[in-house]
Structure 1
Amino acid sequence: MPRAKLKRNADTIDLTGDSDDPNELRPTQNPQHMKTPRVSEGSTASTAAEDYLDDDDEAETDGFIQSQEALNQAFTNYVPYGTLRSKIVGVRYYTGYATIGEMVLLKREPHNPYDSNAIQVQNVHETQIGHIPRTVAAELAKYMDSQDLFIEGTVTGHKGEFDCPLDLRLYGTSDPLEQIRLKERMQSDRLPLEDYRQREKAEKQRNKELLAAQKKARSNKKIPKPTNPAEFAGNQAGGLEPDPTIEDIVDESERFNPRNVEQFVEKFGAAEEVLASMPMADQPRDLQSHLLPFQRQGLKWLLDKESPSVPATGSKDVVQLWKRDSKNQSLFTNVATHFTVREAPALASGGILADDMGLGKTVQIIALIIADRAMRSSISARTGPTLIISPLTVMSNWTGQMEHHMSKNKPLRVLVHHGPSRIKSAKDIQDVDVVVTTYGTVTTDHFGKSSKKGSSFGLSSIEWRRIVLDEGHEIRNPSSKKAAAVSALNAASRWVLTGTPIVNTLKDLYSIARFLQLSGGLDRYELFNQAIIRPVNQGDENASVILQLLMNSICLRRKKEMPFIDLKLPPLSEYVHRITFEPHEQERYDALAHEAEGTLDQYKTRRGTSGKGANATYQHLLEILLRLRQMCNHWKLCGQRLTNLMTAIETSGTVDLTPENRRTLQDLLQLSISAQEDCPVCLETLSQPVITACAHVFCSACIERVIETQHRCPMCRAELEGTEALVQPARELGEEAPMEEPVDESMSSKVEAMLHILKASHQKAGPKVVVFSQWTSFLDIVQYHLGLHGYQYTRLDGSMSVRARDVALRRFDEDEHCTILLASLAVCSVGLNLVAANTVVLSDSWWSPALEDQAVDRVHRLGQKRPTTVFRLVMEGSIEDRVIKIQQDKRKLMMLAFAEKAGKRMNSKAARLADVEKLLG
């Protein structure tokens, strides 16, 4: 066969050549396809999202798709076992090439006529380079087929006459029991286990130190006997001590600034002075509203990112992780995957606008549309329509904002694609500037019946000028149908608007990167995971730099507390107000804490040995943690219904769905929601969660598919005849079922402290207070005491209709005598304007701080005229004290992406178990 050597620099590899090596495999293609056309070196690999069509999911807009990529995501939590030094053979038959240090894709080829164990090696553009040697493939193929090992490949040397050096990094399960079995198999096959042995040694040392510490701690503790609670003097009206002033409350509290942990800022980020000095665009002539200076800077950045350019010759700049080769300026290398191309790579047009809530992301996008229209009109170039995709609840906001900000002389022509007013043909948008639709509509259009009938028209048939995803974290699950649907749309530019591009894990960012169509292999999950997710989670500093370089290149994030933003908002002061338990409360709390410690030890033992009963024990542990948190608010919230239900399930496997059991299952479901549990089927954060009669929690779409095919719970094999065995959350996501028992009239330390704050804030006329809590049952108790002390208040929670909510908000805004709003955190964290208040009381806290930040931002936002004070009520020495530390850790992952330092991260249940251990101290 003729040779076709690639003339490249000294660090690149010629992957052609002849060989008679028995390890080589002949290509399976016929002769005319033996030299397959090379994928354009500057192109971006296309997604296969359009292939994930499922008849059973036509009506589901929040369902999941099954794909190889979804399978690869299941390996995210795998841990390294060892590295196998190998090579690529058969390179003379294929046109693919790679450079030293480049990541490659490994694909099983079970139908290869020469070897059923064949494993292909492909570059990031999925062009085949060669094969793994036969002898190595014979050992690895069975592990890949059974999904016991996930293998990452990296080219480690120059190509020789017949082969190319390759390192194979072997990753396996992190489950303690399965690890032992896998290790034994790998030992018998003589596969490397150096990482496993190092981890095993470290784990033994940690367990030894932990046992010693627990033994010492228990020897110094005495478990108190519960006593009957005495009534507080404050039970009776007027029984409180002399009224404190708000200054007294502040003096007793600890200043707290959770959003600005300055010690974590690193040199790689966009410093505030850099953001402040960004160039400005001109005020668009047809925009009626006057842009603030930082918004004009944002407009200039948006315009520039729609026309990105590769680094100039001689430049050391890195653009979307591409840089020019230092030795050969005609070559471009991706610093994440080390993929090298001869021609200028394709760059993503667009990016992420991640400004804080309230900084005007909407008006900046409207200004972009107007400025781009004017620019193209000046050169007689036609501007295609912009597609804006948003949650249903804010869709009307876009049409209203465009009407509000636009010049009356030259308004944007807007069309809503939703419900009966859907686009029927391309003629409908011929003279339209903007189309507004929802994620649900896009998903049903893409996966619905119309897409299966060969319809020639659809949203994906249009070449949009740009696509804008509002609340872009909606697509953070890359296996979701909505993520696949929006990624399949065609557009010249793509934008994601979100204040939280990373909600839980770095996988959230991958889904956005795929939508933006980043090149260099980063639109492939296995490569994004290998280059960024896994090493960042393991504390690799180089990977952290790469992540920061990526975010600096595609993301603009300004925070409203930055001085140059100059929103002229009054100051925000946040305090942790610590409260001491009364003796009878402390006794109850300590008893629960000891029970939690014992349950944690029991769970770790069961999980590390036979695994039998581990899931039930973990659920019991979450239950006790819930009771500990509720105990911090009021002992009335701590019932025994959950314990009784778990006992019944352990006895009979399932429970009858009586009204009482249904309510208790809803409380148990709330435990998994609060703990941010993953669905056992799709291994993703719960989406539309439900709980079965056997007390297992799943995404509704996942468990419904299982029931249709198996009629059994995939966790315990209990019979599930149909979807009637599934229980929905009690109210809106995050709210527990209402209390059926009469409200307890007794006081608690936290309620008493809250009344002190309310009295202090009401000493001056005008101030209003919002009291947030995760538990509506606690709001019931607070409401009783507000009435007892003569306060006028209103309330907002998930049980109320939209009309009732509007009435409550109007009263809080307009009635000067209504000075307190009792608000459910789940309902009030988004979509509301509460600037009538200037004091916020956060009654309780949990893992993720995002909801709390958003709730506070409902009060401290544009329109607020007075200084805002926030009090976080924390019981001293309790689980709440430790939650503050965990929240700071959660923030660090988000801050890391914007050049702020953070430590190692873990994923899934292992991370939450580590958090539980921190909580129990």
Structure 2
Amino acid sequence: MYEKKLNGILADEMGLGKTIQTIALLAHLACEKGNWGPHLIIVPTSVMLNWEMELKRWCPGFKILTYFGSQKERKLKRQGWTKPNAFHVCITSYKLVLQDHQAFRRKSWRYLILDEAQNIKNFKSQRWQSLLNFNSHRRLLLTGTPLQNSLMELWSLMHFLMPHVFQSHREFKEWFSNPLTGMIEGSQEYNEGLVKRLHKVLRPFLLRRIKIDVEKQMPKKYEHVVRCRLSKRQRFLYDDFMAQASTRETLASGHFMSVINILMQLRKVCNHPNLFDPRPIQSPFITQPIVFHTASLVQDALEVSPLKLQTLHTLLRKLKTGGHRVLIFTQMTRMLDVLEQFLNYHGHIYLRLDGSTRVEQRQALMERFNADRRIFCFILSTRSGGVGVNLTGADTVVFYDSDWNPTMDAQAQDRCHRIGQTRDVHIYR
């Protein structure tokens, strides 16, 4: 693509080494073409330091500027960066590049590289429109999921790469989105010619390999669905909420966001009743001295606790006996708090990563988990810990709850099912 002066998408399946391939490209440009940048790499916050570490490992000759910190710290990092060879590669996050977009737009970049490029799938977003106007000679998008919900997301990526080629949103929609939507919904027969047309149009700009084609020795992945009943308290809260007049009125209105809010309340009930109706209960998962001193109370509390947690306890005990290590994903920060109390009570050694974890701590946590087999569990929020990180120290993934977007769960499970994994991976939902 570089030789033909094209921009493109590296869309290899998650876990196949898009990061190292990109670093190899930059090394080739520097050593063989004399092109030392500067390059701008925009990544999710959770993997900023991982990119820095990998670049320093494989390209020690590069001057790396990892751009994060407070507004004052970032201003200091920008001092002198207009000078030639002030740095070769700048790594920053989507959030910060938007906050300081004026400074980034004033600079000319050799390569603009976006990791987890599905972050710009919405062409109406401020992020997409701001990055579109950056001054760069070449652009490269990295994503294991170039298409999630609709083909128009693909247009957003392609227009970002080549606005003069994929110029018309309307024409792209007429060519691809409408017919394919019809096929998916079953309103018309499968159109093999249309799919071939899509492949033909994208082939020069998109490279995608999947695990089964590239890595023949890749460990297998098994998925398990574990069904759990509601406890008596959960069933009461669930039925009582659904019976309320306000709930029935909201459902009857059909207002999308209001219905979504109802679903969120019901998810809280299903995860743990205290998320929906916070009140003190005698539970082994809530630290109360009397529970620790009276065995009968522990048993009584266990019987009234959410069956989901009881099932998780049984599963973790089995996995620990078998020498496995576990990633537990959830959507809710408050559920992470409950899981922390649960793991503490049962004596499991664990780490935690969520949206509030500082940038410099995230990489340290991941390295510690992969290196220290004494750490049994890593609990993470799906959106913060499910993208771009390498956690091959685990061989089991538990989704305590599922994301609205199944692609997010697919990305999360590939944190451990990737190159470098030596054991079969089991996924529990």
TM-score band by shorter chain is 0.7 to 0.9
- One-letter amino acid of the structure 2 residue matched with residue 631 of structure 1: V
CA shift at 1:349, angstroms?
0.6
User: 1:554 is matched with which residue: 205, 213, 227?
Assistant: 205
What is the alpha-carbon distance in structure 1 between the residues aligned to residue 362 and residue 129 of structure 2? 35
CA shift at 1:525, angstroms?
2.7
Distance 1:741-1:828 versus aligned 2 partners, 3 A rule: farther
What is the alpha-carbon distance in structure 2 between the residues aligned to residue 812 and residue 441 of structure 1? 27
SS at match of 1:846: coil
What is the alpha-carbon distance in structure 2 between the residues aligned to residue 799 and residue 439 of structure 1? 14
CA shift at 1:767, angstroms?
2.0
- One-letter amino acid of the structure 2 residue matched with residue 467 of structure 1: L
Distance 1:543-1:820 versus aligned 2 partners, 3 A rule: same
Tell me, yes or no, if structure 1 residue 821 matches structure 2 residue 378. yes
Cα deviation, 1:577-619, whole Å, max 9, x if unaligned, reads 2234567755665565677995576124xxxxxxxxxx4xx55
User: 2:315 is matched with which residue: 728, 749, 757?
Assistant: 757
Cα deviation, 1:472-522, whole Å, max 9, x if unaligned, reads 2333232444433433344443211122323444333222222211545x2
What is the alpha-carbon distance in structure 2 between the residues aligned to residue 435 and residue 783 of structure 1? 36
What is the match of residue 48 of structure 1?
none
What is the match of residue 424 of structure 2?
867
- One-letter amino acid of the structure 2 residue matched with residue 751 of structure 1: L
CA shift at 1:352, angstroms?
0.3
CA contact (8 A) 1:592 1:624 kept: no
> Which deviates the most, 809-818 or 525-534?
809-818
What is the match of residue 533 of structure 1?
177
What is the alpha-carbon distance in structure 2 between the residues aligned to residue 307 and residue 600 of structure 1? 57
For residues 359-398 of structure 1, what are the structure 2 equivalents within 5 Å? 359-373=16-30, 375-376=32-33, 383=35, 385=37, 387-391=39-43, 393=45, 394-398=47-51
Tell me, yes or no, if structure 1 residue 420 matches structure 2 residue 71. no
What is the alpha-carbon distance in structure 1 between the residues aligned to residue 224 and residue 351 of structure 2? 24
Cα deviation, 1:71-107, whole Å, max 9, x if unaligned, reads xxxxxxxxxxxxxxxxxxxxxxxxxxxxxxxxxxxxx
CA shift at 1:783, angstroms?
4.5
What is the alpha-carbon distance in structure 1 between the residues aligned to residue 168 and residue 261 of structure 2? 39
CA contact (8 A) 1:389 1:439 kept: no
CA contact (8 A) 1:796 1:805 kept: no
User: 1:794 is matched with which residue: 344, 350, 357?
Assistant: 350
Tell me, yes or no, if structure 1 residue 838 matches structure 2 residue 384. no
Tell me, yes or no, if structure 1 residue 509 matches structure 2 residue 66. no
- Structure of higher CA gyration radius: 1
What is the match of residue 405 of structure 1?
58
What is the alpha-carbon distance in structure 2 between the residues aligned to residue 579 and residue 525 of structure 1? 45
What is the alpha-carbon distance in structure 2 between the residues aligned to residue 416 and residue 508 of structure 1? 29
CA contact (8 A) 1:386 1:467 kept: no
- One-letter amino acid of the structure 1 residue matched with residue 327 of structure 2: V
CA contact (8 A) 2:49 2:363 kept: no
TM-score by length of 1: 0.38
SS at match of 2:227: strand
What is the alpha-carbon distance in structure 2 between the residues aligned to residue 777 and residue 416 of structure 1? 31
CA shift at 1:372, angstroms?
4.1
What is the match of residue 296 of structure 2?
none
Distance 1:810-1:743 versus aligned 2 partners, 3 A rule: farther
What is the alpha-carbon distance in structure 1 between the residues aligned to residue 101 and residue 338 of structure 2? 48
Distance 1:495-1:529 versus aligned 2 partners, 3 A rule: same
SS at match of 1:864: coil
What is the match of residue 524 of structure 1?
168
Distance 1:535-1:777 versus aligned 2 partners, 3 A rule: same
Aligned-residue RMSD, C-alpha: 3.9
What is the match of residue 665 of structure 1?
none
CA shift at 1:416, angstroms?
6.2
User: 1:576 is matched with which residue: 225, 231, 239?
Assistant: 225
Distance 1:578-1:524 versus aligned 2 partners, 3 A rule: same
What is the alpha-carbon distance in structure 2 between the residues aligned to residue 787 and residue 834 of structure 1? 22
- One-letter amino acid of the structure 2 residue matched with residue 572 of structure 1: K
SS at match of 2:416: coil
What is the match of residue 7 of structure 2?
350
For residues 738-777 of structure 1, what are the structure 2 equivalents within 5 Å? 741=280, 744=283, 745=301, 746-764=304-322, 766-777=323-334
Distance 1:557-1:741 versus aligned 2 partners, 3 A rule: farther
CA shift at 1:443, angstroms?
5.0
What is the match of residue 128 of structure 2?
483
Distance 1:548-1:760 versus aligned 2 partners, 3 A rule: same
Percent identity over the alignment? 28
CA contact (8 A) 2:117 2:142 kept: yes
CA contact (8 A) 1:351 1:494 kept: yes
Distance 1:549-1:423 versus aligned 2 partners, 3 A rule: farther
- One-letter amino acid of the structure 1 residue matched with residue 228 of structure 2: I
What is the alpha-carbon distance in structure 2 between the residues aligned to residue 801 and residue 478 of structure 1? 29
SS at match of 1:467: strand
CA shift at 1:368, angstroms?
2.2
Cα deviation, 1:885-911, whole Å, max 9, x if unaligned, reads xxxxxxxxxxxxxxxxxxxxxxxxxxx
> Which deviates the most, 744-753 or 482-491?
482-491
CA shift at 1:390, angstroms?
0.9
SS at match of 2:225: strand
Distance 1:814-1:741 versus aligned 2 partners, 3 A rule: farther
User: 1:638 is matched with which residue: 264, 276, 281?
Assistant: 276
What is the match of residue 129 of structure 1?
none
CA contact (8 A) 1:390 1:439 kept: yes
What is the match of residue 288 of structure 2?
none
Distance 1:505-1:637 versus aligned 2 partners, 3 A rule: same
SS at match of 2:428: strand
SS at match of 1:352: strand
Distance 1:506-1:758 versus aligned 2 partners, 3 A rule: same
CA shift at 1:740, angstroms?
7.3
SS at match of 2:315: helix
- One-letter amino acid of the structure 2 residue matched with residue 823 of structure 1: L
Distance 1:758-1:396 versus aligned 2 partners, 3 A rule: closer
For residues 456-855 of structure 1, what are the structure 2 equivalents within 5 Å? 458-459=106-107, 462=108, 464-517=109-162, 519-520=164-165, 522-539=166-183, 541=191, 544-560=195-211, 562-566=212-216, 568-581=217-230, 589=238, 598-599=248-249, 602-604=252-254, 615=255, 618-639=256-277, 741=280, 744=283, 745=301, 746-764=304-322, 766-788=323-345, 790-798=346-354, 801-802=357-358, 818-830=375-387, 832-855=389-412
For residues 280-295 of structure 1, what are the structure 2 equivalents within 5 Å? none
Distance 1:750-1:552 versus aligned 2 partners, 3 A rule: same
What is the alpha-carbon distance in structure 2 between the residues aligned to residue 798 and residue 828 of structure 1? 7
- One-letter amino acid of the structure 1 residue matched with residue 76 of structure 2: P
What is the alpha-carbon distance in structure 2 between the residues aligned to residue 556 and residue 529 of structure 1? 22
CA contact (8 A) 1:388 1:435 kept: yes
SS at match of 1:577: coil
- One-letter amino acid of the structure 2 residue matched with residue 478 of structure 1: F
CA shift at 1:445, angstroms?
6.4
Name whichever structure is richer in helix by fraction.
Answer: 2
Distance 1:740-1:823 versus aligned 2 partners, 3 A rule: farther
CA contact (8 A) 2:64 2:90 kept: yes
Unaligned runs of 5+ in 2: 68-73, 284-300
- One-letter amino acid of the structure 2 residue matched with residue 388 of structure 1: L
- Structure number with higher relative contact order (C-alpha < 8 Å, ≥ 6 residues apart): 2
Cα deviation, 1:701-742, whole Å, max 9, x if unaligned, reads xxxxxxxxxxxxxxxxxxxxxxxxxxxxxxxxxxxxxx6756
